[in-house]
Chains A and B, each alone.
Chain A
Amino acid sequence: MLVSTFTLGDLYLGIEILLVREINRSMECTPVPGSHDYIRGMLNIRGRVITLFDLRRRLGWNDAQPVGDGSGNKRKQYNVIMKTRSEVIQINREIGEARCPWQDPVGLVVDQLGDVLDIADDNIQPPPANLRGIAADFVHGVVEFERDLLVILNVASVLGVDPEVA
């Protein structure tokens, strides 16, 4: 499984690459009044309106803003724009039906970009009950590296969409 990796604070995160549509530098977005606090706002990319999820808030971290680099500037963040269910199904019907229940274009805000890793399915272990304050529901699995632990996100849970319903 190809996984695109990111960091959120010290946390090393991964998202299955087939679910990712594109990655951009974070840019100004329009807030959505009355929405959950983890909804950063709406974004228009090439005519598509995308709902942006603030991953930090979604994971329940209080410090919503990433720590600056000391020079007073706010550290740059990146938007990971997800494919929609229909787009994924066009490529891989099985994966699309199993893991991509969301119909609308959505995006996740992360801190830093990582590599693209090819991880054998055997290496992916089931999530521990509670990992660094992340609800186990949000975790698809973990992969152990020498120095670090890669947490592969369950994007459907993060987005709050029940795959069964879809």
Chain B
Amino acid sequence: MDAEERQLAREIQEQIHQEMNMLRTDAGQIRHLVQDAIVKLTGSFNGLRDQSNDQHALVTSLTTSMEGGEGGGEGEGEAQKRINIRQFVSETDRILRSFVDHILLVSRQSMEMVHRIDDLSSQMNEVVSFLHDIDAIAEQTNVLALNARIVSARAGEAGKAFAVVADQVRKLSKDSNQFSKKINDVVRRSQENIESAKEIIEVMASKDMSFAIESKGRVDEMMDEVSKIDRFTAATLVKVSEITDRINQDVGTAVMSLQFEDMVTQLVQSLEKHIGLVEQFTGVVCCGCPDAAQGDHAARVAAIRQVLQEHTAIFAQSSHKPVDQVSMDEGEVELF
């Protein structure tokens, strides 16, 4: 082997060494890049999973509170303390129904009261007619007394005592007349009061009923609307809960997929190791073989063959791949 060949071999070895160094640097860079990216991705996916878990918890608590005590379990006591919309609607309906019942009762009683007042009014009229009879009697008594006085006047002195009696009777008739007038006044005032009371009660009896029934109808409609909205919200929450579950699964899958970092690292390490081996092999082949430098052509060939055989064995030993998987879906990986 002459000096020119050795020089050529050294240059080739130098070139290969440079290329191998570049390969090594690239492999290292790949490893660092992948490691950095994996750390960040893992962090962000873990954050995403935590937030998704929080969201899931919130939605679950909302749904249980909407379903009330039916959810059962440990949340029952808490759910009973809070009044949910369904309970609110039924409670409002109950209260309203009792209100309307009360108003209808009052209305019926008012009508009854109107009848009673009519009775009272006609009885008052009877009292007035009796008072007229009393007036007539008083007036007749007055006329009678006056005539008695006239008769007593004819008797002169002898009729004096009779005249006193006649005057007393007249006085009685006048008193009776005055009393009857007073009673008449009171009865008239009572009748006026009774009339105005009757008017008020009639208004009460007629107006309240229709108003109460109308209001009940309106509130029933509104309650129906509220129930519909409540049911829609509950259904939506169930859907949101399902979506959150799916997001959780997807995030889990993503985190699991991030395990490829290990494989990539091992692959890169294996790559570096092979680069070293190839470099060593080329070094020995080109100029590291002392026996081949002095010997003739046949001896050199034999020396190189021997080196090739040695390295073939080394390559065969290290050709076991650290990672056999082609995709992440293969194999069982226990992550959590």
List A residues at the B interface (Cβ < 8 Å): 2, 4, 17-18, 20-25, 76, 78, 91, 113, 115-116
Contact = CB atoms under 8 A, between A and B. Distances in A.
Contacts of A25: 139-140, 143
A113 B163 CA distance: 17
Grouping DSSP codes into helix (H, G, I), strand (E, B) and loop, the A interface class, with mixed when no group exceeds half, is strand
Contact of B153 (A2, A24, A76): A2
Contacts of A2: 153
B150 A113 contact: no
Interface in B114-168: 139-140, 142-143, 146-147, 149-150, 153-154, 156, 163, 167
A113 B146 contact: yes
A138 to B, nearest CB: 22
Contacts of A78: 143
B150 A20 contact: yes
A78 B149 CA distance: 16
B13 to A, nearest CB: 149
B149 A113 contact: no
A23 B154 contact: no
A17 B150 contact: yes
Contacts of A17: 149-150, 153
B154 A24 contact: no
A113 B154 contact: no
A89 B200 CA distance: 70
A83 to B, nearest CB: 9
Contacts of A23: 143, 146-147, 150
Interface residues of B, number: 14
B139 to A, nearest CB: 8
A24 B140 CA distance: 9
B146 A116 contact: yes
Contacts of A4: 146, 149-150
Contacts of B147: 22-23
Contacts of A76: 139
Contacts of B149: 4, 17, 116
B154 A22 contact: no
Given A22-B147, A76-B139, A91-B154, 17 more contacts: A2-B153, A4-B146, A17-B153, A18-B153, A20-B150, A21-B150, A22-B150, A23-B143, A23-B147, A24-B143, A25-B140, A25-B143, A91-B156, A113-B142, A113-B143, A116-B149, A116-B153
A24 B147 CA distance: 9
A20 B151 CA distance: 9
B145 to A, nearest CB: 9
Nearest to B154: A91
22 contacts: A4-B146, A4-B149, A17-B149, A17-B150, A17-B153, A20-B150, A22-B147, A23-B143, A23-B146, A23-B147, A24-B143, A25-B139, A25-B140, A25-B143, A76-B139, A78-B143, A113-B142, A113-B146, A115-B170, A116-B149, A116-B163, A116-B167
A91 B154 CA distance: 6
A24 B150 CA distance: 12
Contacts of B150: 4, 17, 20-23
